Structure formats: structure tokens, C-alpha cells
Structure 1
Amino acid sequence: MSDIEAVLSKLGQERTRLSRIAGKRRLYLVGGTIRDILLERNPADFDFAVAGSGVEFAKEFCRKTKSKLVVLSTEDDEARVVCHKHIFDFNGLGDQTIQQDLKRRDFTINALACEIFPDRIGEILDFCEGRKDLAERIIRPVSAGSLKADPLRLLRAMRLALELGLKVAESVYAQGSSISLGRTAAERIGKELLRIMEASGSYKFLVRLYGLEKLHEILPDFVPVLEDKKLHHHMFQTYYKIEEIIAGESFFSRFEPEWRRYFDRWAALGPEANGLPYRRALLKFSGLLHDIAKPQTRFVNSKGEVHFYGHDSLGAKIVGTMLRERLRLSGAQIKMVQAQVKGHMRLHLLATNRDLTDRAIRRFFRDSEEEAFGLMILCYADGWATAGRTSHLVDTITRMIEQKRAEDAQLKVRHFINGYDLIGFGLKPGPAFKVILQELEDLQVEGKINSKEEGIEYLKTNLPGLKQKEGD
């Protein structure tokens, strides 16, 4: 039994139904499915080319399996069936032969097919030397016009190289230099960029995109940075350092619980979690874009000193518009990057404050919420890219995390005062609750309130002042 037959046999009844529905129509397993099997990877989905209509075939398969149908494109005759744990994509050949179909595909490693018969699998059809390129672990375009037919294939080649551990042939870049991504749908570009940036080793492809001037096309609002040699070098170096940190090559690896909470808990929720499984990609995006507003905010004072007042806040606004309009990222994704860009200066200020207080550290964690750990990574990378000087950041970040751990452990045992206690004082739930409870929490971890009784006494004496503090 071949590897392909072994994989298809695991489909059970679905495999039998496919052959029955096909009848005398020719049915082929194609593309990335065969590629993944030959690379000894479990295929993420099953791609089929069928004589006649792909949508009609999918509808019949959907009825037989009582599954969910999604028509991907009526123009291209493509449909998807989600059946149990498997995804089946069907594409109609129309009046084309399978050879013609394969020769219009993107890369040789995806231009593979084998015919599905009721009792067996046909030989692999390889008209473009795809198996040879798989053996050499290289991604080549099927034809000289491959990227012109769909410019997004430039990004797809980079993404596949990262995900599959392959090389991109220079012929891809040669074609990429003469194409434009300007008319490619923003959401398609956004999805490919996220997958590229999520992978380890994406920095080299970011540099390639810059060299091909494709970043200029994809993110025109970023052009002033790209044309500033010093600034664009800094942004790229920040990206590089974040990627290095994510790969585990920094002191951050000692903060394993914080690391898991920040990165891994979202990934466990799957892609439906508002796009946040792409936290590595989004953090790298923050590194790339954090100083985007510096060209607009550059100010030289009478002493010749250069400042960029407000570049963090303005940058967050620019990034929000850019990621929404140019890449069609989700609201949750945009919010994360904006929070990083807007907050990236704060930790620098804390780290250079000789009188850094425990309360200032607490405020940082409260204000930053779930982005605190990511902001620490961004700030550290920013500092490294600026001057290579990071010892003060290491000391400050270590102190902050150790304090947070100790105080979380203390508060986990018990909060002496809660919202019900405030209601007992005649307060109604609202913004004042948060301010008052945070003040009481500070006093508790500072050892100034050591019991519920002491907390009640404090409220009796100080509640009017706390109410005024909330109003301020």
C-alpha cells in the first residue's frame, strides 16, 4: 500500500462515498495534499479536482455525508465540505485536462495529482518535476507567468518555505520583482503576512520584501519609515530581536509561566479566537511598526536636540487605520498591536527612574492588562536595537515580574475587601469600585492592611477621600 493509499484509507466511509459519487467522472487527489503526504506530514485538508462541476460534486458529497458545504468561488467552481474532522476541497476541471489544470498551478511541488479509482489509487502525475523539487526541498514556480497570474504567490512561497522547511528559488524573486500586489485583496495579503510572521525565521523574508519594494506597496503609510535609512534599520532590528526572543534566545526564557500565559493559552483556543493565536506575528508587527509616527513628530529644539513627542500615541492611531484598511486584520488583532505601539515608551521611562516604586509597577500591570509581558519583550528589543544596552531593562523587568508573582500569590489567598463590602457602605457598582478596590489592594500587598477588620476601619475613615480620588 502506498503512502497516499494509506492516508486515504483512514477516511473510511468518506473514501468509499467519493468513488461512488464520482461514478464514471474522473476524480483526482491534487496539490498540497499529495505534497504533504510525500513530505510525511499529515495533510491539513484533502484537495480534489473533478471532471465537470466541482460545486455540484461537493453538494452531492455534502448530502451523502450530512456535512457542511461552503461555496468558495462560483467563478472558479470551488467548494468546501467540512465533514467530521476533515476538510474536503473540490475544484471542477470544466473542459480542461488534468495536465492543463496542474500546469496553471502556483509551484511545482503543488502541481501533483493521482487519480482516485474505486479500488485503487493511480500513479502520481507529475508534469512539472514537482517530486524532484520536493527531493531538493525547493519551491519553484510552475511557469514564467506564475506570479503574474496571482501576485499573492510571492507571499505564499515565503510562507510555505517557513512552514515546510523549504528554500525559495531565485526565480520566484525574479518574477516577484516585476509584479504588483496593489490589486490583491487586502484580507488575502493580511492572512499570508500573519502566517509568515508567526513562523520562526521570517526576518529574512521581511528583508526580501523590503528589497523588492513590496512592503512599500502593501503598507504605503509605512513608506516614510522605509525611506529613512536609520529609522527603517532600527525597526527591522527590533523585529529581528523579537524573533530571536520568541525563539527562546534571551533571558525571557526564565519567565516560563508568564510566557505560557501570554503566547500559548491563545493558541490552545484555535484560530476562531479572534485571530489572537497569531500573537507571535502580532508582537513582531508591533516591533516593525512601533516608531511609525517618528517622521511626523520629529522636533529639533534650540539646542539641536531631536525629540519625537507623542509618537507613541499618534503611531497607535496610524497603525489602527493601516492594519484595518491595508490588511483587514480583526478588531482584536488591531487592538493588540495598537496597545503595544501606544505603550512601548512606558517601560523605558520606568527602567530609567531611579525611584521606581512598587505602586508604579502595579499601575503598569493594571493598565497594560494582558499585554504587559508582550510590552516587556517589545521594550527590551527596542532598547537593544537602539543602543545594544539592555542591562537596566533586564534588572527592571526581572524586578517587575518577581513583584507581580509575589503579590499575585498573596492576593490569591484572599482579598480582604471586595465589592460586596463597598455595597455595604452604600456604594453602587461603577467606576468608583475599581479605583477603591485597587487602592485597598495596594495597601494589602504593602502590609498596611492585614485583615478584613482593618480594611473596614480604613474605609470608615477614608471613603470620602477615595470617592474624590475617583472623581479626579
Structure 2
Amino acid sequence: MSRIQKELNKYQKLLAHLFGLTQSRKIYLVGGTIRDIYLHRPPFDFDFAVPGSGLELAKKFAHKIRGKFVLLSQKDDEARVVFKKKIFFDFAGIQGKTIQNDLKRRDFTINALAVPLKDGKVGEIIDLFSGLAHLEKRLIVPVSEKSLTLDPLRILRAFRFAQELNFKVSDKVIQLAQNLSLKKVAPERIGYELMRIMETKRSFWAIKTLADLTILPQIFPEISDLFANPGLLNHSLMTYKKIEELIEHKSFFSQFTKEFDAYFSSMPRRRALLKLAGLLHDIAKPHTQFATETGDVHFYGHDSLGAKIAEAMVMTRLRLARKEALMIKKLIAYHMRLHLLATAPVLTDRAIRKFFRDLADEYFGLMILTFADGYATAGKTVHLEDTILRMIELKRQYDAKRKIARLITGHDLIALGLKPGPIFKTILEELEELQVEGKIKTKEEGIEYLKVALQGLLEKEEK
């Protein structure tokens, strides 16, 4: 019994409905399903190429098994049937009238495989382009010279498959990538593939190669100036690489396992988003470069400007969710903060508490980004290690205590004649700091402090 027959037998009851609907007509199991079976990866997605309408067969099959019908493409006659939220059956009408012509239109040889199915029986595999041999060699090879030009997004798919399957990209892919343009590719498709690449454990090679092929500047035209400066480009790539190493091996951060696990489990794709923030953290440096009379070079404000550029960029170029874009924005906006704290003559507990308040859920990601940034700059991280260790220890101490109840609230500020606004947050945080430091112990002391502070402000205004 073939591998494919064994896998299909596991879903015999479901597929019996499908074969009943096809009424002895031949349909084809195609593409990634066959690839995964040959790679000993249990398939949960089954791809079928069918004569006639893929949509109609999918609708009938969904009704038979009480699955969910999902239209993928009216134009390409593609639909999906989801069974119990965990098994997926994709149907598409055969393109080009014959299965041979259909396979010629596919992206890579390892995906251009087909097996005829009739009444539940598996026929001989159709392998027109040596896909099985390339599976053995673990090589991503385009079906034809036109494969990538027919759909330029396939260059990203090539690297995504290479990363996810631990394959190599063939020289032919690199050659065909030289003259590709992604201008007409939908941002949603680009975002999906790029994030899938970044989600893999060792994606640096793929990102570096995409940079060398000038694919990344096509995705992000805003980084063209960064790419024009070899030093800045290399630093950005090395920051990305170090973040990836820290995520995989933890290294210095292995002593913070609780914080590490909590951070990366709290949001899908957080690993990929942190890497992307690392790649883009200095995006505004070319726009803020300033040289003094003595020749010193500065990039004042590159963090805040870069945060704005990156936020807009990932939303328009990749169609990332708003929450994901805000994460990247915050990390870039504050990526200099920890450097400044680590090099300050005196680092107070108050400054540390403000850091955690400002960063909130992103504090740990920023620590990793800053560590990687420092490593990529000069390879020196001792000052950051000491600072991060102290900060985490202080946070653990405060987290172990019951959260302090504020003695003064917004209602008290209104009672003192203040109008609600952003200033309330600043005032209340300052009063909370005074509570933590033990300088205010009662509500009365808090009110008195406020009255004195407000009187001082009034006297300044009168002068």
C-alpha cells in the first residue's frame, strides 16, 4: 500500500462522501498534500484538482459532511471546506483543460505533483518536472522560466518553503528573481508570506538574501535610503540576526524564563513582529543624520520619526493588524530609552518604574531589541546586562507585592478645580511614585501636596 493510500485511509469516512459525489469521475490529489506525505509530515490540508467546477463540488461536499464552505476565488474556481476547524479540503477546477496543463502552471516542482483518485483508489503519481527527485534533494526549483513572472509573489513563497521545510533555494530561483517586480502584488499576500518567513526559527539567511536581491526595498520603498548606506543596512540586518538568536537560544535572557515565556505567548506572531521591529528600528536615520563642526555624527529624533514611518509602512505595505503595527511603533519609538538608562550616571528606581509604565506589555521585547542593537553596534552588552538584571529584579519585587491602591483619584483632581485631560495621567502617576517612595502615606497628605504644587504653578504664572 502506498504512503498516499495509507494517509487517505485515515479519512476514509469523510472521503467516501467525496467519491460518492464524483460518481466514478477521476479527480486528482495535488500539490502540497503529496509533498507533505512524502516528507512524512501528517497532512491536514488536502488539495484537489477536479474536472468541472471546483466551487460546485466543494459546496456539495461541505453539505454532505456538514463542513464550512469558504470561497477562495470565484475567478480561479477555488473553494475550501473546513471540517471541525482542523481539517481543510481545497478544491479547484483543473486549469488548462488537462491535469498536465494544470501542473505546468504551478509554482515549484515539489508542488507540481498529482495523483489520480477514482472510487477511493490511488493511481500512479504524475511527476512531470522531477518533483520527487527535488524532494529527495530538498531543493526548491521553479516549474518553468515563467513560473516567477506569472506571479512574482512566488519569490517569497520560494523562501518561505525553504525555511519551513528546511530546503535550499535553487540557483534558478535566484536567477529568475533578478528582474522581478512586486509592484502589482497585493499587500495582503506580501504580508502573509513575509511574516511566515519571519516566523521560522532561522530566517536571517532568507531576509539577507531577499535584501541582496533588492526584493526588500520593493516591499518597503521607504528603506531605500537605508539600503544606500552599507553601514546602516548591515547594522539593521545584524540586529535582526541577533534578535533571532536570542529568541531561539535565549543566552543572557535564559535567566528570565518566566518573563520570556509570558511575553512570547501573549500575542500571535510576536517573534516575527519583534524581528521586523529590529530590521526597521533605524529606518529614520538617513533622514535625521546631522554632523557637527567637529565631525561627530548624530541622529536626533530618529527613534520617534522612525516609529511613525514604520507604523504607516507595515499597515500599508503588509496590511498588518492595527495592534501589530502599534507594537512595532512602540518598540521603535522607545528603542533608545534603555541605552540612555544604562549609560546614565545614576539610575533611579523611579526611572525604572517609569520605563515599565511607558513600555507596559512591550518592556521585555524592548530589552531584547536593545540588547541586539547594542551587540550589532559594537558587540558590547555588559552595561546593558547589568541594567536589565537590576530592572527585572526590581520589577519582580514590585510584582510580588500587592498593587498599591491610589490615595488620590481623578475625582479628587476635579474637586480641586482641575479640568480632565492628559495632565491627569501625569499627576496621578507622580502621586503614585510618591506613595511608593513613602513620601505620601494618606489621602490628606496627597491633597496637601497637590494644593502646594498647584499654588506654586499659579505663582509662576503670575510672575
Taking structure 1 as the reference length, the TM-score comes to: 0.89
Instruction: Give, in angstroms, the shift of residue 438 of structure 1.
Output: 3.8
AA at the equivalent of 1:455: T
Q: Describe the superposition over 1:280-309 as per-residue Cα deviations: whole angstroms up to 9, x where unpaired.
A: 111111111111111111111222221111
The aligned runs of 1:62-211 (5 Å cut-off) are: 62-84=62-84, 85-93=86-94, 96-211=97-212
Partners of 2:71 and 2:79 within 8 A in 1: yes
Match of 1:257? 258
Structure 2: distance between partners of 1:418 and 1:33: 62
Match of 1:223? 224
Aligned-partner SS, 1:28: strand
Instruction: Give, in angstroms, the shift of residue 118 of structure 1.
Output: 2.5
Partners of 1:432 and 1:470 within 8 A in 2: no
Aligned-partner SS, 2:242: helix
Q: Describe the superposition over 1:394-445 as per-residue Cα deviations: whole angstroms up to 9, x where unpaired.
A: 111111111111111113xx534478x8769986998677556544543454
RMSD of aligned residue pairs (Cα, Å): 2.6
Structure 2: distance between partners of 1:192 and 1:334: 17
The aligned runs of 1:257-336 (5 Å cut-off) are: 257-266=258-267, 277-336=268-327
Aligned-partner SS, 1:255: helix
Greater CA deviation, 376-385 or 121-130? 121-130
Aligned-partner SS, 2:386: helix
AA at the equivalent of 1:459: G
Structure 2: distance between partners of 1:244 and 1:223: 26
Q: Describe the superposition over 1:129-149 as per-residue Cα deviations: whole angstroms up to 9, x where unpaired.
A: 211111111111111221111
Query: Are 1:58 and 2:58 matched, yes or no?
Result: yes
Match of 1:393? 384
% identity of equivalent residues:
52
Q: Describe the superposition over 1:63-108 as per-residue Cα deviations: whole angstroms up to 9, x where unpaired.
A: 2223322211111111111221211110001562222212221111
Query: Are 1:4 and 2:4 matched, yes or no?
Result: yes
Structure 1: distance between partners of 2:424 and 2:12: 58
How many pairs does the alignment contain? Answer: 455
Aligned-partner SS, 1:55: helix
Match of 1:462? 449
Partners of 1:53 and 1:94 within 8 A in 2: no
Query: Are 1:358 and 2:349 matched, yes or no?
Result: yes
Q: Where do 5+ consecutive residues of structure 1 fail to align?
A: 267-276
Instruction: Give, in angstroms, the shift of residue 161 of structure 1.
Output: 1.1
Residues 169 and 409 of structure 1: is their aligned pair in 2 closer, same or farther, counting only changes over 3 Å? same
Structure 2: distance between partners of 1:469 and 1:94: 79
Taking structure 2 as the reference length, the TM-score comes to: 0.91
Q: Where do 5+ consecutive residues of structure 2 fail to align?
A: none
Greater CA deviation, 90-99 or 205-214? 90-99
Partners of 2:110 and 2:131 within 8 A in 1: yes
Partners of 2:16 and 2:120 within 8 A in 1: no
Aligned-partner SS, 2:364: helix
Match of 1:271? none
Q: Describe the superposition over 1:313-333 as per-residue Cα deviations: whole angstroms up to 9, x where unpaired.
A: 111111122222222222112
Instruction: Give, in angstroms, the shift of residue 216 of structure 1.
Output: 2.1
Structure 2: distance between partners of 1:322 and 1:200: 24
Structure 1: distance between partners of 2:367 and 2:457: 29
AA at the equivalent of 1:36: D
Residues 25 and 218 of structure 1: is their aligned pair in 2 closer, same or farther, counting only changes over 3 Å? same
Partners of 2:243 and 2:372 within 8 A in 1: yes
Partners of 2:24 and 2:119 within 8 A in 1: no
Structure 2: distance between partners of 1:28 and 1:395: 61
AA at the equivalent of 1:68: K
Instruction: Give, in angstroms, the shift of residue 167 of structure 1.
Output: 1.3
Aligned-partner SS, 1:116: strand
Aligned-partner SS, 2:393: helix
Match of 1:369? 360
Query: Are 1:415 and 2:422 matched, yes or no?
Result: no
Partners of 1:72 and 1:78 within 8 A in 2: yes
